[in-house]
Structure 1
Amino acid sequence: MDTEAYRAGKLTGWKHPEITQEIIDTVGGRKALMEQIRALEKEGLIQVTYRDMGSDVKRIDLPVAAVEKLCQREGMEDSRQRQLRYLEEVRAWSAPVQEVPWLRSYYEDLIRRLEAGKIVKEPEDPDLFRCLNTLTELKEPVWERVFSCMVFKNSKKFRSGGCREKVISVLKNGLYGCPFYEEGMTDDGLLAACGILTYSQTLEWKGPLQYQIMEVQADTSMLRYGCVLNAQTLEHAKISGCSGCVSTVMTIENKTNYENMAYAEDTLYIYCHGFFSPKELRFLSGLCSVLPAGVKYLHWGDMDYGGIRIYQYIKRHLFPELIPYRMGARDFEEAIRMGAGIDLEESAKEKLENMDAGELDGLKQAILRTGKTVEQEMLLAAACSR
């Protein structure tokens, strides 16, 4: 017996199992079946109405409250007992993370569903709970494979065992309110925000920036085609100054457009690839303090839902004086006339309708009105085809 009501603990009432030929064959024939029925009746687990002088069964009455004992008798786990076991396990995993609101909400949701008798698959895989709880214990960012070793004593299991996708799914679920997630983040970016790093996290820029790592000073003004810092360098480096007179800082969302920007002594171009990782934010947070007052902070990104979110993220977390570059309603309309428009997906339309676009509300309304979006690269493609 495995109904929602039964799993929720409603153990009253009766069931009337029907004897089928399949059941008769399973137990080894009618004689064996009758022997089992009489044994169960004698134990008080069922009530039987006989016919044909007791040689056949007219009806079996099974009290719902006896199902658990029947399962125990057969060495099976009753669905209600399984539900109770899951509840106990989830509460145990929940206990150490009560001070972590988003993860507490996740476990509370599982508990509510289990108590309501819903089928909940998550407790079948405690590795997911192990990963989530370990995530909250991180004091410093760690490499993904190190995290996997911390959890499983195996450097590859987090990714190869499927837990990575399950963890990301929980983190992205708006029901739980994970503070690290921003709509549009890549999976790697989200894990990085939570403290799990991959080797793909780098920072690229063009311009006369100086940084210090240990006792070494580096000047990137001579690197006219750009500079790339890997994740480990980002962790230990800090901005120390500028070797030129920088008047403009521009973050650029897409690689093609970033590469297309020619070196300028008074401009610092930063490739943001989407949402900056925590290490990138930490490194770049020192930029404002070494630049003079009056510097312009610009962001150039896609004219779509994700582009607006990225702009707002950078403004909120890094450059409060940030303003959009070529992302206004007029820029959008010009791009559409150039043939750079892409159809707006229905899922993105709903999100866009519900978002507060702030100073980019004009762009938002233009996207909704036309049903189009514009990716940065399309501007270059459209310009080349003219």
Structure 2
Amino acid sequence: MSQTLTKDLIKQQVLTLLITKYENSPNGAPTFVTISDTPWVDIYNGGKAHAARERIHVVLRELEATGLTDVLWVSTQDEFQVSKVYLNLKKIELAYEESGVMRRNTEMGILQNILLPLSEHPWSFVQTWRDRANTLLSHGKTPGLGRDNADTYSDIVKALEALTTISAPMTVEQFSQYVYGSVQYFEHHLRLPLVKLLQDTSLEPYQTEQELLDSYNLITRPELALFAGHLHFAINSVAYNLYLFPQGIGLPLAGVTALEVTHIQAKRILMVESIATYYSLVEQLQTQRDLIVYTGGYPHYGLRALLKKLLVHTSATNSLLEVYYYGSISYYGIRIFEHLRQTLFPTLKPYGMDTATYEAQIPHGDTMCEKEATQLDYLMQDHNYEHWQPLLIAMLRNRVQAKNSCP
């Protein structure tokens, strides 16, 4: 490592550290760094790398000679060592020039200009995020994307603009090629900051990054839509009876797209969040005339496409079919229920998501963290969740959330 520690690198790192401290310090406060602040503290204190330590001393003496810094030396038995390196504020402009560091207000202004096109983005949440980011940048702060630099911000703008043009699902690799001309660019440079932005602005209950990206038509891993029970359908004019398939079937998006619902023999549609519960209910189809749909990973595109087809068929036939959602008794389970009810099935009913069921599940539930409690408290304040209040009160009182279990 000492071979790569050149004089130019030492100089650049020392000045960068000093400027960073200068920009983060109260006006008039002395600006200094110690050896422990540097990336080469282990080399300096190692005892064996005499050449590297002397090289550091040479650079610090040269910086002193130019008036950029003042060095406080301490005497040891064998030699002088560095205690502190002070920045000479009278030479601050030269320090910026010599280090290659851009002034923070200049850098923030550049980032503000890069984000400016988002003020007219068709999605209101993007405009809101841009306004918040602009305010933070004007105060010398960043919106915290993890990679706050001009290249990343430019990539973010390109991605957010491109997302509005996607009318059909595509893999993240296809999206990366489409926007950046490289199948790996998104994964290597943009995934983390874009996901953070979308998570920070999302109002929907996405439990995983995969679900979040899927909601924007970006597929990270192809998923199957699983369903079983009393349903007749056709694919490419070939008729099928779903009930004859043991444990149902799983279709990729292309299969769901080609599927035509011809007749629903079931007395009810039951959407199930837990895969174990799904297969348990499938085993009971001989005695229960149900159509069971596995909703784990909601809202992945294939699942949404299947649910929309069921909705279209029931609406077209004026079916009085009852539709239920059997989800976990948790913030996410409740949010997913409401999302399904508000966007697909207005008469949707909860199944096994009542206070009595919850209280029976408490001994087997999971302890609720503070974030989850805060999320539930947020639902308590939302009038759209008034009918959930008895359950929410019980959950907040016990600080336990319960997964649905096999009946």
Q: Confirm or deny that 1:268 pairs with 2:296.
A: no
Q: Is residue 204–residue 227 contact of structure 1 (8 Å, CA) maintained in 2?
A: yes
> Equivalents in 2 of 1:132, 1:171: separation in Å?
13
| 1:60-99 correspondence runs (5 A) | 67-72=92-97, 74=98, 76-80=99-103, 83-95=105-117, 98-99=120-121
Instruction: Kindly provide the amino acid, as one letter, of the partner of residue 352 in structure 1.
Output: L
Q: Confirm or deny that 1:126 pairs with 2:156.
A: no
> Equivalents in 1 of 2:61, 2:356: separation in Å?
82
The SS at the match of 1:122 is: coil
1:112 aligned to 113, 117, 135, which one? 135
> Equivalents in 2 of 1:164, 1:335: separation in Å?
38
CA deviations on 1:342-372 (whole Å, 9 max, x unpaired) are 3222221121122143322222112122222
What residue in structure 2 maps to residue 315 of structure 1? 341
| Distance apart, 1:375 and its partner CA | 1.0
Q: Is residue 108–residue 138 contact of structure 2 (8 Å, CA) maintained in 1?
A: no
> Equivalents in 2 of 1:231, 1:62: separation in Å?
64
The percentage of aligned residue pairs carrying the same residue is 18
What residue in structure 2 maps to residue 259 of structure 1? 279
Q: Is residue 297–residue 321 contact of structure 1 (8 Å, CA) maintained in 2?
A: yes
Q: Could you say if the C-alpha distance between residues 63 and 365 of structure 1 is closer, same or farther in structure 2, counting changes exceeding 3 Å?
A: closer
What residue in structure 2 maps to residue 185 of structure 1? 207
2:198 aligned to 166, 171, 196, which one? 171
What residue in structure 2 maps to residue 47 of structure 1? none
Q: Confirm or deny that 1:242 pairs with 2:263.
A: yes
Q: Considering only aligned residues, what root-mean-square deviation do their CA atoms show, in Å? A: 3.7
Q: How many residues align?
A: 338
> Equivalents in 2 of 1:170, 1:214: separation in Å?
41
The SS at the match of 2:204 is: coil
| Distance apart, 1:373 and its partner CA | 2.0
CA deviations on 1:151-180 (whole Å, 9 max, x unpaired) are 443323433x2632322111111xxx34xx
| 1:1-386 correspondence runs (5 A) | 2=19, 25-26=57-58, 36-37=66-67, 67-72=92-97, 74=98, 76-80=99-103, 83-95=105-117, 98-99=120-121, 100-118=123-141, 122-124=147-149, 126-127=151-152, 129-131=154-156, 133-137=158-162, 138-140=165-167, 141-159=169-187, 161=188, 163-173=190-200, 177-178=201-202, 181-234=203-256, 236-242=257-263, 244=265, 246-261=266-281, 262-264=284-286, 266-291=289-314, 292-336=318-362, 339-356=363-380, 357-377=385-405
The SS at the match of 2:347 is: coil
Q: Is residue 155–residue 190 contact of structure 2 (8 Å, CA) maintained in 1?
A: no
> Equivalents in 2 of 1:298, 1:113: separation in Å?
44
Q: Could you say if the C-alpha distance between residues 361 and 29 of structure 1 is closer, same or farther in structure 2, counting changes exceeding 3 Å?
A: closer
Q: Could you say if the C-alpha distance between residues 98 and 349 of structure 1 is closer, same or farther in structure 2, counting changes exceeding 3 Å?
A: same
CA deviations on 1:166-208 (whole Å, 9 max, x unpaired) are 22111111xxx34xx5134321111011120133322111123
The SS at the match of 2:255 is: helix
Q: Could you say if the C-alpha distance between residues 134 and 79 of structure 1 is closer, same or farther in structure 2, counting changes exceeding 3 Å?
A: closer
CA deviations on 1:80-131 (whole Å, 9 max, x unpaired) are 1x54145324422432662233333333333333321236763337246415
Q: Is residue 206–residue 212 contact of structure 2 (8 Å, CA) maintained in 1?
A: no
| Distance apart, 1:231 and its partner CA | 2.4
| Distance apart, 1:226 and its partner CA | 0.8
TM-score normalised to structure 1 length: 0.74
